[in-house]
Amino acid sequence: MEIRDRIRELRRVPARELQPNPRNWRTHPAAQRDALRGLLAEVGYAGALLARELEDGSLQLIDGHLRAETTPDAVVPVLVLDVTAAEADKILLTHDSVAALAEPDHEQLAALLKDAEFINPGVEELLKGLMCQATETAEQAAMEREEVVIPESWQVVVECRDEANQREIFERMREEGYRCRVLTLS
């Protein structure tokens, strides 16, 4: 399979000059905005936004809408892609969605969370949620893996005419030394 490199260039562009994609389907809740502000304050930009060049020379975002919106006065790194509008739509639809399919390695995640220190409360909330989610997933996976061991036993179910007959058979079997239980189904 031949894989094309669609990155034309890396540009540094004032965020306010980037046009949001009118087909962007993602919304950004307050917790995400707070976490992003905190990460940008503590770490800074560590990844490029994605955009395509329009006929008039302007850049239209494909990925990075919240980063551009959060830092409108910053000059941000932008990977300018050589893609059509239809291809941009495909990237817009799948870029983060494919990344979201990744599953956590719970031991690695726990180690990272233990060692990472952040000052920003928005980031701390994000990490607490991540840890809770990972813990729940790990517990659920462990429950699904647990085998229920049923000890070997041999039993006889006897259908009786009525309650009196059930009592009579139960008492007779106990007198003969069998361990018995009464079961009534309605």
Residue 146 within any structural domain of the chain:
no
Is 118 exposed, middle or buried, given 0-12, 13-18 or 19+ CB atoms closer than 10 A? middle
If asked whether residues 14 and 35 sit together in one domain, one would say yes
Distances (CA, A) of 100 to 1, 15, 56, 97: 24, 25, 34, 5
If asked whether residues 58 and 72 sit together in one domain, one would say yes
pLDDT of residue 108: 86
If asked whether residues 54 and 131 sit together in one domain, one would say no
Residue 13 within any structural domain of the chain:
yes
Entry pTM: 0.69
Residue 165 within any structural domain of the chain:
no
Residue 11 within any structural domain of the chain:
yes
If asked whether residues 109 and 83 sit together in one domain, one would say no
Q: Which of 34, 110, 104, 23 is nearest to 66 (CA)?
A: 34
If asked whether residues 95 and 110 sit together in one domain, one would say no
Q: Is 21 within 8 Å of 62 (Cβ atoms)? A: yes
Please give the backbone phi and psi of residue 154, each rounded to the nearest 5 degrees, phi first.
-125, 130
Residue 164 within any structural domain of the chain:
no
pLDDT in tens, 131-186: 777 777 667 766 777 777 778 888 888 888 988 899 898 889 889 988 888 877 77
Q: Is 15 within 8 Å of 74 (Cβ atoms)? A: yes
Distance CA 118, CA 55 (A): 42
If asked whether residues 124 and 59 sit together in one domain, one would say no
User: Greater confidence, 34 or 104?
Assistant: 34
If asked whether residues 113 and 97 sit together in one domain, one would say no
If asked whether residues 124 and 53 sit together in one domain, one would say no
For residue 71, the domain's CATH number is 3.90.1530.10
Distance CA 127, CA 113 (A): 7
Number of structural domains the chain divides into: 2
pLDDT in tens, 17-68: 999 999 999 999 999 999 999 999 999 999 999 999 999 999 999 999 999 9
If asked whether residues 30 and 95 sit together in one domain, one would say yes
Domain that holds residue 123: 103-141
User: Greater confidence, 131 or 97?
Assistant: 97
pLDDT of residue 141: 66
